[in-house]
Amino acid sequence: MKNRWIWMISGLMLFFILAAMTALLAINSVFGENRELNVSSGVGVVEVKGIILDPQETVKQLNDFAKDEKVKSVVLRIDSPGGVVGPSQEIWSAVKKLNKKKKVIASMGSVAASGGYYIAVPASLIYANPGTITGSIGVLMKFSNLEGLMEKVGMKSFTLKTGKYKDVGSTARKMTEDEKSMLLSVIESTHKQFVKAVAEGRNLPESKVLELADGRIFSGEQAMGYKLVDRLGTMQDAIEEAGRLAGISGEPHIIKPQKKKHYLLDMLVEESAGRFGSLIRKDKGFSLSYELEGVEE
């Protein structure tokens, strides 16, 4: 009988502990998601770090700030060597759209090159440190040829295809002249898109941008001389200017995006997908990128 009461009391204690933990999690979920509701008006800060592969989170943050009435202006902090063309263009589009509604100030960190520069050009102002590495206006498409290695190990590859370009970029054979011409036309098309975006965003003639669009890099100081950036300054300088342009007096309050909730399964899936995608991108040898070569994530 005594043991029975001990088990009953232990069970009730465990039940109340679990109920309390559940309640705390529920409260944190409700109020944690809305923790920004009571903050004062200020400057939103969106950060883009590393190689640009997936634009979804950055685009969401920019769109959320566009709708948030407490966010009066936005600083886009960039520390990226660029990345894949499509994702870079999606972020560029979101920045351009936001800048029509609220002032966007781009702030460059150690590197904001190629796609990292591309996403900055729709901003109202671009700040760079004197030693920031930027520019690299150009397009990369990389391939690998393993034909010689396969011959050495006695390995052969066979491909069945429905058109002569279907296996373009194959690692098992040399590229034909027709394939090179076709791919070059794709590169030239995306390069023109880059040049047009810079010319439009920086209010420069396309002919002037073309002179600089050969893949060369610039220091922030050099870029300012070519009118690729507006001012030399730190992220804090950019935040203060964003506050001034938004009519905020004194030190502007910084508003950061809500942190994305991470559950264990989501983290494992995202990590695996990221590593797999990076492996394919680097080892398959086929990518179309606005990216500064030689800078790893």
Instruction: Classify residue 253 as left (phi > 0), alpha (psi -120 to 50) or beta.
Output: beta
Q: How far apart are CA 193 and CA 170, in angstroms?
A: 27
How deeply is 262 buried, as exposed, middle or buried, from its count of CB atoms within 10 A (0-12, 13-18, 19+)?
exposed
Catalytic residue status for 166: yes
Supply the mean pLDDT for the chain. Answer: 83
C-beta of residue 286 within 8 angstroms of C-beta of residue 169: yes
25-39, 43-57, 160-174: lowest mean pLDDT where? 25-39
- Closest-CA residue to 239 (of 100, 80, 107, 67): 107
Q: Which two tokens stand for residue 89?
A: 């263009």
What's the Cα-to-Cα distance from 237 to each of 105, 129, 231, 251, rounded to whole Å? 10, 10, 10, 11
Q: Are 219 and 130 in contact (CB under 8 A)?
A: yes
Q: Which helix (H) or strand (E) holds 231?
A: strand 231-232
Residue-wise pLDDT tens digits, 21-42? 665 555 555 444 444 444 589 9
Assigned token pair, 273: 């997908």
- Comparing 188 with 270, which gets the higher pLDDT? 188
Of 112-116, 155-159, 291-295, which range is least confident?
291-295
**What domains lie within the chain, and their CATH numbers?**
39-136+214-291 (3.90.226.10)
3-state SS string for 32-66: HHCCCCCCCCEEEEEEEECCECCCHHHHHHHHHHH
Q: What is the largest CA-CA distance in the chain?
A: 93
Instruction: Please say if 114 is a catalytic residue.
Output: yes
Q: Which of 80, 88, 107, 114 is catalytic?
A: 114
pLDDT band at 10 (very low <50, low <70, confident <90, very high): low
Catalytic residue among 49, 161, 166, 260: 166
Nearest CA to 75 out of 120, 114, 33, 38 is that of 120
Q: What band does 14 get if pLDDT is binned at 50, 70 and 90?
A: low
* pTM of this structure: 0.78
